Amino acid sequence: MAFEGLSEKLNAAFKKLRGKGRLTEADVREGMREVRLALLEADVSYKVVKDFVAQVTDRCVGADVLDSLTPGQQIVKIVNEELTALMGGSNARLTFASKGPTIVMMVGLQGAGKTTNGAKLAGLMRRQFGKRPLLVACDVYRPAAINQLQVVGKQLDIPVFEMGQADPVHIAEEAVKYARDHGNDMVFLDTAGRLHIDEALMDELKAIKAAVKPTEILLVVDAMTGQDAVNAASAFDEALGIDGVLLTKLDGDARGGAALSIRAATGKPIKFVGTGEKLDMIELFHPERMASRILG
């Protein structure tokens, strides 16, 4: 997985600090300058970097760090804690409905990985919690989308509900009824994406949301698009309100800017990450593990 460049640069900065023994405030500030550059090069949002570095510096120039026996190590520990907090602290789980099927509405731009990762997530919920998911084809504009959902459904042996090119709001409503009648306790709505965020797309998503009141709206974004992924997250959250993010293609993301910025930029947690094309390549997002990996 990603972040090699960032790891390397951060570790180089920390090596210098560790090598010094006693540290002055000036040493810390010099080290933080390198941290700042490393994060900017990793495509982390400017404001996120600025706030992060200010927070870390504040903690690192305190007497308890500078006068300690191992100031370099203390600083690495602080950076680890702050990176973890930046990505949301503890891992955020999916909420299950207390009554009736849990409805997860998958939204995102075209090509982000909505269809495959909706299916992956359904498979994960079956594996982890014994759920009986239903996949629903609400993307009626591209005939290939319905077919693609059927293909992945078949591969995972998860049923697919479709009504051809019918009205997506109607399809979503009928799918929820079908799920109740057939003992499916989770419904994954595969909604339409567009190349760009536009009003027509948002209006349709809002109408589906109003009709079926999803338990979770998960935004699917492509990690490889960096700050565009962060911008998409902000735009979808403002227009629709999202509950969390599924960050895909982390396996191909060499920089890590989206993973590090989304939480701070939108206030919404990354809940899952896609780590490859295969249908079992999805994981819960653990901020702490990710921070350790970056500093590892």
Instruction: Assess 224 for contact with ligand GDP (CB under 6 A).
Output: no
Fill in the amino acid letter for 251: D
Cβ-based nearer residue to ligand GDP, 215 or 275: 275
Applying CB under 6 A, among 249, 255, 263, 286 the residue interacting with ligand GDP is: 249
Closest approach of ligand GDP to the CB of residue 139, in Å:
7
Q: Which residues, listed in sequence order, are joined to residue 270 by a DSSP beta bridge?
A: 245
Closest approach of ligand GDP to the CB of residue 278, in Å:
9
Q: Is 250 labeled as ligand-binding?
A: yes
* CB 264 within 8 Å of CB 51: yes
Taking CB under 6 A as the binding criterion, the range among 15-23, 168-176, 262-270, 272-280 that sits at the site for ligand GDP is 272-280
Q: Is 215 labeled as ligand-binding?
A: no
Applying CB under 6 A, among 45, 74, 261, 275 the residue interacting with ligand GDP is: 275
Nearest residue to ligand GDP on Cβ basis: 274
Q: Is 108 labeled as ligand-binding?
A: yes
Instruction: Assess 257 for contact with ligand GDP (CB under 6 A).
Output: no
Taking CB under 6 A as the binding criterion, the range among 24-32, 59-67, 82-90, 274-282 that sits at the site for ligand GDP is 274-282
Nearest Cα neighbor of 143 from 111, 118, 166, 171 is 166
DSSP letters along 37-93, please? HHHHHTT--HHHHHHHHHHHHHHHTSHHHHTSS-HHHHHHHHHHHHHHHHTTSSPPP
CA distance 172 to 209: 9
Q: Is 227 labeled as ligand-binding?
A: no
Closest approach of ligand GDP to the CB of residue 87, in Å:
18
Fill in the amino acid letter for 261: S
CA distance 227 to 45: 7
Q: Is 203 labeled as ligand-binding?
A: no
Please tell me the count of residues contacting ligand GDP according to CB under 6 A: 20
Closest approach of ligand GDP to the CB of residue 20, in Å:
41
Closest approach of ligand GDP to the CB of residue 191, in Å:
9
DSSP letters along 83-128, please? HHHHTTSSPPPPPPPSSS-EEEEEEE-TTSSHHHHHHHHHHHHHHH
Instruction: Assess 225 for contact with ligand GDP (CB under 6 A).
Output: no
Closest approach of ligand GDP to the CB of residue 18, in Å:
35
Applying CB under 6 A, among 84, 102, 248, 261 the residue interacting with ligand GDP is: 248
Nearest Cα neighbor of 213 from 262, 172, 260, 163 is 172
**Taking CB under 6 A as the rule, which mask of x and - marks residues 75-114 in contact with ligand GDP?**
---------------------------------x-xxxxx
Backbone torsions φ then ψ of 57, nearest 5 degrees:
-60, -45
Task: Give residues with Cβ within 8 angstroms of 187, minimum separation 6.
Answer: 101, 102, 103, 104, 133, 134, 136, 175, 176, 179
| Kind plus residue range of the DSSP H or E element containing 26 | helix 25-41
Q: Is 185 labeled as ligand-binding?
A: no
Within 10 angstroms of residue 180's Cβ, the number of other Cβ atoms is: 13
Q: Is 149 labeled as ligand-binding?
A: no
Q: Is 114 labeled as ligand-binding?
A: yes
Instruction: Assess 123 for contact with ligand GDP (CB under 6 A).
Output: no
Alpha carbon distances (Å) from 107 to 11, 35, 127, 190: 37, 34, 23, 7
Residue numbers in the known binding site for GTP are: 108-115, 190-194, 248-251
The residues of the shown chain that bind ligand GDP, judged by CB under 6 A, are 108, 110-117, 193, 220, 248-249, 251-252, 274-277, 281
